[in-house]
């Protein structure tokens, strides 16, 4: 070894005349690559922090054709048979690209995170060039100083004289050493989002993808966990968590080929999306975010939650308001008296915000059901003759804040907007538009800057005219139903999916620049947009249109793998439930909704006095535990997927002074023997006094009011 230079979190060790090991360190993780000018960059290590002495002696991955340690295989010159990150057609038609290191550097880096916070870390930039073509690719790795998060992304710059075509554009690959590796991912559909799937990685490809066009979290999600040593466990074992921070079509490919490694690739889905990059233009990929946990899947979740609260969510240091949303209570039946009554009722139960959902707008075409008026964001004066002014006055009178629903990226063909701008919608050139919800819903083409201005103006007009509006629910209830932009030139039709999301982010950035304080919910037919591409512009998301408490336990469990409770809107609704027709007790519904950002989605006037009293008490109690749930650390204790009719989790405050323990019985049988649950995350030496919330039994629990050490609660648990 010639030299050893510790510089902040970075260690450089010259191993040969040229090759250099570069390590990036977060508080508990190290990522090491082997870089040699003129050669392809090589992966060496990602895992728990290692010492500079061990880094110096790290073994190289076997370097034959099957080693697959290349960080950024590009198609055609040295990589033809394996999966690749980049494929492109050069200006002269050549399909082969050969990218080798031209230069690299590590620099201290500070930037504004998408949620407006400042983040800092060490940034490794590797510049790759093709000896035959003036193509430049930068690989970036950002290791955070304060959280165990490593981000990687790329940009590709066309230095050729004419346009080149990108046909595949993943982020750098993350190789995962073969062992008994299990992949946990999330599959779903409308009203059944985030169902947890775990499977061993066998030989072959595992492909997880979304091609909805707009709502990339409805079906398969772009976050996965890889348990490296057998089936995933919550609090033990090595697990990598990976999220692609993108709101559009994505593809994750895990290739378990003939090498020693599983190759994790993630990026924009290239299907029907080849990208023409003009001379001098740069294409930047969305970031991949990784963490490495030695304390199981729960360790990954905790890191993602704290990263999200710091950098990927708006106002995550502020407690969320308890709200009533009008949707399941009245659907489209909006009027002043009804809204006033709902505001009064939620205020009387202790709520802080009322949100008027769909149905309040439309003039020539009225929003009486879901088949008209999207795009015409004017108050329906037949329903609300005294306008938003009266709604705000009623909110003031009732002592609650006021929020409003919009679906700004959409139109109905039965709308004045569509009559005026039929060219603003997404549709195949020369074809009749395929119409969605209500038989008339179409998607506006956010590739078009005029449409971006229009979408921005919807929010801008509302908030300029009514600055008292405290909350917006931003919905999106349609996919791309037929491919085509009436704005993009015919030669660039394949840019639709990518340009749409650039346009959407552009609008979100403008909204946040002008209205940093308003609370905005990210909704897309439920949880269709729970992703880290869009969330930085929002405060929370609607987990699902399915508010059945029992199925919510499963959906919220899956959602909690990557998203913190403060972001998960979770509402008490009526029974029989509107999605699954199941009847559950008001206690059960409160017990489940209180594990996320609590709200109500119900017609309070149809509730009994007992139910109202129960909810009033639950809301009072939630206010006490709100900081623990919204800012505390989550510990998942017993999975609903275990199949033994029980689920349990808890939140612990940062100072470990307070904790909230949830224990949900999923089925009731006579003489049912349920396991005793050991708690987690407590201070073993502290004594905790037990108090049951939402109690319905006449007799208190034996442990009520008694104090137990954290050690006892974690080793033994309570009956
Ligand atoms: C979507 C949302 C619901 C509700 C309706 C209104 O389905 O997910 O919460 O807002 O639209 O039409």
475 is catalytic: yes
pLDDT in tens, 316-363: 999 999 999 999 999 999 999 999 999 999 999 999 999 999 999 999
In the chain, what is the straight-line distance between the N-terminal and C-terminal CA atoms, in Å? 59
Instruction: Measure 409 CA to ligand 1 centroid, in angstroms.
Output: 14
For residue 601, how far is its CA from the centre of ligand 1 (angstroms)?
11
Distance CA 174, CA 242 (A): 10
Q: Which helix (H) or strand (E) holds 101?
A: strand 100-112
CB 286 within 8 A of CB 153: yes
Mutational pocket test of ligand 1: of 332, 372, 475, the residue with most ligand atoms within 8 Å of the beta carbon: 475
Distance 543 CA to ligand 1 centre (A): 12
Handedness of CA 415, 421, 425, 430 (dihedral sign): positive
**C-beta 330 within 6 A of ligand 1:** no
pLDDT at 395 over 60: yes
CB of 367 closer than 8 Å to CB of 358? yes
327 lines ligand 1 (CB under 6 A): yes
304 within ligand 1 shell (Cβ under 6 A): no
* pLDDT, tens digit (0-9, with 9 covering 90-100), for 4-58: 333 344 434 334 446 899 999 999 999 999 999 999 999 999 999 999 999 999 9
Q: b/e for 95-126, b at 16 or more Cβ within 10 A?
A: ebbbbbbbebebeebeeeebbebebebbbbbb
**Per-position b or e across 389-419, b if 16+ CB within 10 A of its CB:** eebbebbeebebbbbbbbbbbbbbbbbbbbe
- Distance, in Å, from the CA atom of 257 to the CA atom of 83, rounded to the nearest integer, reads 9
Question: Which atom of ligand 1 is found nearest the CA of 523?
Answer: 8
Q: Which residues pair with 406 in a beta bridge?
A: 474
Q: Is the pLDDT of residue 77 over 90?
A: yes
Name the pLDDT band for 66 (thresholds 50, 70, 90).
low
pLDDT value, residue 60: 82
Q: What 3-state class would DSSP assign to 237?
A: strand
Beta strands in 580-623 (DSSP E): 597-601
**pLDDT per residue over 574-614, tens digit each?**
999 999 999 999 999 999 999 999 999 999 999 999 999 99
Please state, in angstroms and rounded to a whole number, the distance separating the CA atoms of residues 288 and 168. Answer: 16
What pLDDT, on a 0 to 100 scale, did the predictor assign at position 346? 98
Taking CA atoms only, the protein residue closest to ligand 1 atom 1 is 525
pLDDT at 259: 87
CA separation, residue 541 to residues 164, 326, 662, 685 (Å): 38, 16, 22, 37
Q: Which tokens belong to 691?
A: 């108090």
CA of 545, closest atom in ligand 1:
8
Between CA 249 and CA 270 the distance in angstroms is 8
State pLDDT tens for residues 195-247: 999 999 999 999 999 999 999 999 999 999 999 999 999 999 999 999 999 99
User: Per DSSP, what are the bridge partners of residue 20?
Assistant: 14, 35
Residue 357 CA, ligand 1 centroid: distance in Å: 8
Query: How many whole angstroms separate alpha carbon 117 and alpha carbon 111?
Result: 9
Instruction: Select which of 212, 475, 522, 591 is catalytic.
Output: 475
- What is the overall mean pLDDT for the chain? 96
Which residue lies with its CA nearest to atom 2 of ligand 1?
525
pLDDT of 549 higher than 90: yes
Alpha carbon of 352 to ligand 1 centroid (Å): 21
Instruction: Using alpha carbons only, give the angle 575, 576, 579 rounded to the nearest 5 degrees.
Output: 110
Out of 326, 523, 528, 600, mutate this one to test ligand 1's pocket (max ligand atoms within 8 Å of CB): namely 523
Q: What percent of the chain has pLDDT over 70?
A: 97
- Give, as one character, the DSSP assignment of residue 469: E
Condensed to tens digits (0 to 9), the pLDDT of residues 635-675 reads 999 999 999 999 999 999 999 999 999 999 999 999 998 88
Q: How far apart are CA 638 and CA 309, in angstroms?
A: 24
Residues 545, 591, 621, 633: which is the catalytic one?
A: 545
| Interval between CA 620 and ligand 1 midpoint (Å) | 28
Give the number of residues written for the chain: 719
Average pLDDT over residues 518-540: 98
| Cis peptide bond N-terminal to 576, omega within 30 | yes
Q: Of all helices (H) and strands (E), which one includes residue 452?
A: helix 449-465
Closest residue by CA, ligand 1 atom 12: 358
For the four alpha carbons of 695, 709, 629 and 288, in that order, the dihedral sign comes to: negative
Structure tokens at 18: 């040229």
Segment 449-473 shows an average pLDDT of 98
The whole-number pLDDT of residue 335 equals 98
On the 0-12 / 13-18 / 19+ scale of CB atoms within 10 A, 258 is exposed
* Ligand 1 binding pocket includes 475 (Cβ within 6 Å): yes
Which residue's alpha carbon is nearest to atom 4 within ligand 1? 327
DSSP state of 536: G
- Whether 484 and 496 have beta carbons less than 8 Å apart is answered as yes
pLDDT band at 391 (very low <50, low <70, confident <90, very high): very high
Instruction: Kindly state the tokens that stand for 176.
Output: 């995962």
* CB atoms inside a 10 Å sphere around CB 525: 23
Distances (CA, A) of 134 to 164, 215, 259, 285, 455: 11, 36, 32, 19, 39
596, 560 Cβ separation under 8 angstroms: no
Q: Diameter of the chain by CA atoms?
A: 82
Ligand 1: residue of 361, 545, 552, 601 to mutate (most ligand atoms within 8 A of CB) is: 545
CA-derived radius of gyration, the chain: 27
pLDDT of residue 15: 41
**Residues of 63-92 as b/e, b for ≥16 C-beta within 10 angstroms?**
eeeebbbbbbbbbbbbbeebbbbbbbbbbe
Q: Is 29 in the pocket of ligand 1 (CB under 6 A)?
A: no
Q: Using CA positions, which residue lies closest to atom 8 of ligand 1?
A: 525
Q: Is 455 within 8 Å of 417 (Cβ atoms)?
A: no
Rounded to the nearest angstrom, the gap between the alpha carbon of residue 667 and the centroid of all alpha carbons in its chain is: 30
Atom 6 in ligand 1: which residue has the minimum CA distance? 358
- Cα–Cα–Cα angle for 131, 136, 141, rounded to 5 degrees: 120
Which is more confidently placed, 30 or 2?
30
- Ligand 1 centroid, distance to 545 Cα (angstroms): 7
State residue 65's pLDDT score. Answer: 57
Q: Name the residue of 326, 360, 405, 436 to mutate for ligand 1: max ligand atoms within 8 A of Cβ.
A: 405
526 lines ligand 1 (CB under 6 A): yes
Q: How far is the CA of 241 from the centre of ligand 1 (A)?
A: 31
Q: What is the pLDDT of residue 11?
A: 39
CA of 580 to the centre of ligand 1 (A): 16
User: CA 306 to CA 287: how far, in whole Å?
Assistant: 18
* Ligand 1 contact via 361 beta carbon (within 6 Å): no
Q: Is 545 a catalytic residue?
A: yes
Q: How confident is the model at residue 61 (pLDDT cuts 50, 70, 90)?
A: confident
């Amino acid at each position: 070894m010639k030299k050893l230079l510790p510089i902040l979190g970075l260690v450089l060790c010259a191993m040969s005349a040229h090759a250099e090991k570069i390590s990036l360190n977060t508080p508990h993780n190290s990522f090491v690559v082997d870089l040699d000018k003129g050669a392809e960059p090589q992966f060496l290590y990602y895992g728990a922090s290692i010492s500079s002495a061990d880094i110096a002696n790290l073994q190289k991955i076997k370097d034959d054709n099957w080693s697959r340690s290349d960080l950024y295989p590009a198609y055609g010159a040295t990589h033809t048979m394996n999966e690749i990150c980049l494929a492109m057609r050069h200006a002269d038609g050549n399909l082969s690209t050969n990218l080798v290191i031209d230069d690299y550097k590590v620099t201290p880096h500070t930037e504004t995170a998408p949620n407006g916070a400042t983040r800092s870390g060490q940034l490794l930039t590797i510049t790759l060039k093709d000896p035959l073509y003036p193509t430049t690719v930068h690989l970036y790795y950002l290791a955070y100083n304060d959280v165990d998060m490593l981000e990687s992304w790329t940009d590709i710059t066309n230095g050729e004289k004419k346009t080149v075509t990108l046909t595949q554009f993943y982020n750098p690959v993350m190789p995962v050493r073969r062992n008994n590796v299990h992949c946990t991912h999330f599959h779903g559909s409308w009203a059944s989002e985030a169902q947890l799937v775990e499977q061993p990685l066998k030989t072959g490809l595992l492909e997880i993808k979304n091609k909805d066009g707009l709502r990339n979290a409805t079906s398969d999600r772009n976050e996965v966990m890889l348990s490296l040593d057998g089936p995933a466990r919550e609090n033990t074992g090595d697990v990598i968590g990976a999220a692609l921070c993108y709101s559009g079509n994505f593809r994750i490919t895990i290739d378990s080929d003939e090498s020693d490694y599983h190759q994790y690739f993630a990026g924009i889905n290239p299907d029907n999306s080849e990208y023409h990059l003009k001379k001098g233009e740069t294409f930047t990929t969305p970031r991949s975010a990784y963490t490495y946990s030695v304390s199981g899947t729960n360790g990954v979740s905790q890191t993602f939650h704290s990263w999200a609260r710091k950098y990927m969510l708006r106002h995550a240091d502020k407690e969320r308001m308890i709200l009533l949303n009008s949707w399941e209570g009245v659907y489209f039946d909006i009027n002043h008296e009804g809204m006033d009554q709902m505001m009064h009722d939620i205020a009387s139960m202790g709520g802080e915000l009322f949100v008027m959902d769909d149905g309040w707008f439309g003039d020539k075409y009225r929003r009486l059901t879901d088949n008209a008026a999207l795009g015409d964001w004017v108050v329906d004066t037949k329903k609300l003759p005294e306008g938003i002014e009266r709604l705000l006055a009623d909110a003031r009178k009732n002592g609650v804040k006021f929020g409003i629903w919009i679906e700004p990226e959409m139109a109905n063909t039965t709308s004045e907007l569509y009559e005026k701008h039929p060219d603003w919608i997404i549709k195949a050139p020369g074809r009749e538009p395929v119409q969605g919800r209500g038989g008339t819903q179409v998607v506006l083409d956010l590739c078009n800057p005029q449409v971006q201005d229009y979408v921005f103006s919807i929010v801008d007009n509302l908030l300029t005219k009514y600055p008292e509006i405290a909350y917006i629910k931003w919905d999106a209830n349609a996919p791309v139903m037929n491919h085509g932009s009436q704005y993009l030139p015919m030669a660039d039709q394949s840019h639709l999916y990518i340009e749409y999301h650039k346009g959407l982010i552009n609008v979100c950035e403008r909204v946040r620049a002008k209205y940093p304080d308003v609370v905005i919910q990210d909704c897309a037919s439920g949880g269709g947009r729970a992703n880290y591409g869009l969330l930085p512009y929002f405060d929370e998301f609607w987990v699902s249109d399915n508010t059945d408490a029992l199925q919510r336990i499963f959906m919220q469990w899956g959602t909690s793998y990557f998203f913190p409770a403060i972001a998960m809107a979770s509402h008490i609704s009526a029974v029989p439930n509107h999605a699954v027709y199941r009847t559950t007790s008001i206690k059960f519904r409160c017990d489940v909704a209180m594990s996320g950002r609590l709200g109500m989605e119900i017609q309070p006037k149809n509730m009994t006095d007992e139910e109202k009293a129960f909810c009033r008490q639950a809301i009072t109690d939630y206010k006490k535990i709100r900081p623990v749930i919204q800012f505390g650390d989550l510990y998942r204790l017993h999975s609903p997927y275990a199949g033994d009719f029980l689920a349990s989790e808890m939140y612990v405050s940062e100072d470990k002074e307070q904790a909230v323990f949830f224990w949900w019985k999923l089925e009731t049988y006579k003489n049912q023997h349920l396991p005793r649950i050991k708690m987690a995350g407590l201070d073993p030496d502290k004594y905790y006094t037990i108090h049951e919330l939402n109690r319905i039994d006449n007799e208190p629990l034996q442990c009520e009011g008694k104090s137990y050490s954290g050690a006892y609660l974690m080793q033994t648990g309570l009956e």
